[in-house]
Structure 1
Amino acid sequence: MDSAADSPLLTSKHVPDNAHFTGDVHDIPPIRGFKDFLVQFGVESKKLWYLSGPLIFTSVCQYSLGAITQTFAGHVGTLDLAAFSIENSVIAGFSLGIMVGMGSALETLCGQAYGAGQLDMLGIYMQRSWIILFVTALLMMFLYIFATPMLLLIGQTEAISHAAGKMALWMIPQLFAYAANYPIAKFLQAQSKIMVMSCISGAALVLHTFFSWLFMLKLGWGLWGGAVVLNFSWWFMVVAQMAYILSGTCGQAWSGFSWAAFSNLWSFVKLSFASAIMLCLETWYFMALILFAGYLENAEISVDALSICTNILGWAVMMAIGFNAAVSVRVSNELGAAHPRSAKFSVLVVVVFSIIVGILLAILLVIFRHQYPAMFADNLEVQQAVYALTPLLALCLIINNIQPALSGVAIGAGWQAAIAYINIACYYIFGVPLGLILGFVVNWGVEGIWVGMLTGTVVQTVILIWICVRTNWEKEASMAGERIRTWSGQKGGE
């Protein structure tokens, strides 16, 4: 790779004429003192929160769809709560990890192409991603169909396996909504068209909450009513976002359906697969936490308590996911526009805010530690188990608010394949075995499983911080330019 100074990608002819792509035509100047730092921190903070504010709201709303269904299930019965928790965390969680992971390749390509001013490629990338994700959904459908025997095979109780398997069959439409939604989301995020996503997600959440209460509790439909409403809510968001795109509001980024989407598909599959491995390893990690709890004595109580904690953690992590998406857009746009210093500085700003938000959330949890368990379950034994897990949950809120933001940096820069190897080592070679030893051998139960797996997350977070500090961002900008030329069909010397 040529040095950054010699790279043609860092010359002015490659900076997009449209200054609105990244907010600046030029890279930020070198920071030479504390005053310069404060000025640039303020500027970058405004850009980050302009993106992350609506994205956090969107992420919280979309996550809350399943979380609210789970909350109502907790008031239907302990078996219903355990069944939905297993379906939502294991079956849907497994599928969601794959869908979001496959879609993150689109996040890298769309963000960098947008930063470079190649708007016409965004629609093509989205259509390629649709093709790949819908084929993936067809394959994943067998997991839903055979959920009961699979859960029995891995040792879940017969009652939970049959109830969760029935729920999985009802949730197949949600699987295809995932396939449609995530490419649309990445397409809109890359262009910073996030307010419309927030409005649609907010409307879906309001409707979902009312109809979930009506069907699950008032009419007494139980999990069947929850499945109907949850499927409808996800497809409502897909149809509304697609209507926005087809209305012509995206300009050059959407020029209609094109046969060009079928070109270079295999290369797109490989990049999507690397992205999927990276994010799936993170998503499945917490899925495994619920799964292992099902092997403990008094499995229903253990699964219920841990699912409530991961439900709360999931809501908090949605804020981090907002930072994840925002910094991914910032880093990919700036690297695409050949602004390495701006990309590097955006990483620093997002880490600072992630730490602050995580600490504030942990403080709130501790303050209301006596009240919140009753919101999620009527069973007093479950409430006591949740209360006992509160210190661990508070610590998780801090750590798991930083890690997703750093993963967003990796997506924006296109490091998915390298991060996948780190995730395998930290999570599955180190974290999972340690959790199983503490939980089952040392007999610490749920707390031991969680402590071990949380340790794996801490190690992974430290490594990601070290990578960001050591990165040559000028070289990353050069590589982003080469990636844009490759995926737009241009030759290297053109």
Structure 2
Amino acid sequence: MDEGSIQERLLSSKGMDEHNLRRRISMESKKIWRIATPGVISRVSSFGTIVVTQSFIGHISAVDLAGYALVQTLSVRFVNGILVNAFTSNRNKQFKTNLICASQIGMSSATETLCGQAYGAKQYHMMGIYLQRSWIIDLITLLILLPVFIFGTQIFRLLGQAEGIAESAGYISVWFIPFVVSLIFSLTVQMYLQAQQKNLIIAWLSALQFAIHIFCSWLFVYVLDLGLAGAMAALCISSWFLVGGEFVYIFGGWCPDTWKGFSIAATKDLWPVVKLSVSSGLMICLELWYYAILVLLAGYTKDAQVSISAFSICLNINAWIVMIILGLMGAACVRVANELGSGDAKAVRFSIKVIMGTSVTMGIFFWIFCLAFGNKIGYLFTNEEEVAETISRLSVLLAFTVLLGSIFPVLSGVAVGSGLQSKVALINLICFYGIGLPVGIALGYWFNLGVEGIWVGLTGGVLTQTFSLSTLIWRTDWDQEVSKTSARLNQWYLESPENDKHVSGVA
């Protein structure tokens, strides 16, 4: 065979490989976006209700805006992190989203892992059991955490916040209780449906929730002139609309393979689930509480009311954009969990590469967007000139935080899908509290940089966390993770009620 023929064959082979690679990327991208698109819509819409409420309150009263910022960023994040932790541990048990809200997210995150792996292993009936376990654990956890909301005024006084802000925060805290209860069900159900790629219904319900929320906020605040109470009532009504729609979908028979009715099996083996949720929840809590503490620190600067409001608004803008990336995080978790459950390590590696490429591309787009319009965003949330100007000064730092926010959530999703929560929790502890928080305190107070210095510390913590997570995922032996997943699924497997008469349930 002559040299020309050999080169021709090599070029032909290379062309075929490139074609196959493009086809594989296209197929994987379709799988990712089939999962992520409804998740993006639902997360942007659901979190949008919080942002819209903040905007309405910001045009009512500057003091109430600061009070809302404290409760939503501190109390709700704290609790939500713990609760999502419970759902995560539930998921981990099969595998083996603000203080209060943060708690919820942590407990719920385990369900995502467990349900995703159960679905990949075709253990469909276990998904409904994991969902019910998460409800039991979350409700008990929330009951223990309710004093955070009931005694909001006293807590914020003890934390040294101004009297007017503390009183407003205490009033708003009570309004947040029904909202937080709704999160227990909405978050866990979303993870349960997402694992079986049925989250399109969540997207529709969330979009309707957002529309209802805007209408109710306008009606209660401007037409009926109910002020702060009207804004918070609209938030509660729209959040429970979402829960009601989810219940109708599940109980109405649209999940016949995974929902077999309420079962006493859900009350078994709760302690192992609780232990697993600790590591899962700790991973998320450390991250959510980090942001909450930084907002608290902003309350100790010279102009506390302006600093709290501006910092919280920037965090919520960042969080709203990150909600899109969290849709990809959910897809990363589901794809990794599904492929681990099916025993395909190569597919896990390829899926991670495609998801990361997609998220970084989106992060660059929003980075440019924040740089271009950062000096105008503040006026959407407040009429206070000082607050808007402070947000404008933070816009460059906000842009870089958004860019990093396109990377680390997806890496966290990969970790959750593979059950590496305890390692991520350690990384979060070191990066956020060993690096980011001390740097923020030093720059904000010792170097008198105020809220800008605190945000620099925030960005430093996120930067080191992103680098550490990248190293963790890069060094993970996915063949070994496949073996671990198989062992865990077999260990926690229960027979379907249809096949095992000893597992009784209520239809």
Q: TM-score, normalised by structure 2?
A: 0.89
**Which residue of structure 2 aligns with residue 100 of structure 1?**
105
Deviations 1:84-103 (A, max 9, x none): 11111111111111111111
Q: Which residue of 2 aligns with 1:426?
A: 431
Match of 2:455 among 450, 453, 470: 450
Q: Give the gaps of 5 or more residues in structure 2.
A: 1-15, 77-97, 496-507
2-structure distance, mates of 1:283, 1:97:
6
In structure 2, what is the Cα distance between the partners aligned to 1:33 and 1:280?
A: 44
> 1:210 corresponds to which residue?
215
Match for residue 302 of structure 2? 297
Q: CA RMSD in A?
A: 1.4
Q: Within 1, Cα distance between the matches of 2:197 and 2:420?
A: 22
Give the one of 486, 489, 498 matched to 1:484.
489
What secondary structure sits across from 1:251 in the alignment?
coil
SS at match of 1:160: helix
- Residue 133 in structure 1 maps to residue 138 in structure 2: yes
Q: Are positions 1:37 and 2:42 aligned together?
A: no
Cα distance in 2 for partners of 1:273, 1:154 equals 26
The Cα of 1:379 is off from its aligned counterpart by 1.1
Q: Contact 1:324–1:409 at 8 Å: present in 2 too?
A: yes
Deviates more, 1:217-226 or 1:89-98: 217-226
Q: Number of residue pairs matched? A: 460
Distance in 2 separating the partners of 1:140 and 1:181: 19
Would you say 1:438 and 2:443 are equivalent positions? Answer: yes
| 8 Å contact kept, 1:72–1:217 | no
For residues 34 and 271 of structure 2, what CA distance do their matches in structure 1 show? 35
Q: CA deviation at 1:231?
A: 1.2
Q: CA deviation at 1:459?
A: 0.6
> Is 2:62 aligned against 1:78?
yes
8 Å CA contact 2:112–2:192 kept in 1: the answer is: yes
Look up the match of 1:119.
124
2:441 equivalent to 1:411: no
| Distance in 1 (alpha carbons) for counterparts of 2:307 and 2:17 | 53
Taking structure 1 as the reference length, the TM-score comes to 0.91
State whether residues 126 and 494 of structure 2, in contact with CA within 8 Å, keep that contact through their aligned partners in structure 1: no
Amino acid in the other structure paired with 1:161: A
Equivalent residue number for residue 223 of structure 1 = 228
Pairing of 1:56-455 with structure 2 (within 5 A): 56-92=40-76, 93-455=98-460
- Per-residue CA deviations over 1:324-366 (Å, capped at 9, x if unaligned) read 1111011101100111111111111111111111110121222
Choose from 28, 31, 35 the match for 1:47: 31
After superposing on structure 2, the runs of 4+ consecutive aligned residues of structure 1 that deviate more than 6 Å are none
8 Å CA contact 2:375, 2:393 repeated in 1 = no
Residue 88 of structure 2 is matched in structure 1 by none
Q: Distance in 2 between matches of 1:233 and 1:84?
A: 18
Q: 1:344 and 1:210 mapped to 2: Cα distance?
A: 45
1:374 partner SS: helix
In structure 1, C-alpha distance between the alignment counterparts of 2:443 and 2:370, rounded to whole Å: 25
Aligned to 1:18: none
SS in structure 1 opposite 2:123? coil
Partners in 2 of 1:422 and 1:369 — Cα distance?
31
Counterpart residue identity of residue 67, structure 1: V
CA offset at residue 283 of structure 1? 1.1
Q: Which runs of 5+ in 1 are unaligned?
A: 1-31
Contact 2:179 2:236 (8 Å CA) reproduced: yes
Deviation at 1:185, TM superposition (A): 1.2
Identity %: 39
Which residue identity is paired with 2:445?
Answer: F
- Separation in 1 of the partners of 2:206 and 2:213? 10
Q: Distance in 1 between matches of 2:473 and 2:19?
A: 24
Question: Tell me, what secondary structure is at the counterpart of 1:132?
Answer: helix
1:69 partner letter: T
SS at match of 1:406: helix
Tell whether the 8 Å contact from 1:304 to 1:382 is kept in structure 2 after alignment.
yes
How far, CA to CA, are the matches of 2:176 and 2:102 in structure 1? 16
Q: Structure 2 CA distance, aligned partners of 1:210 and 1:182?
A: 23
Distance 2:303 2:223 in 1: 30
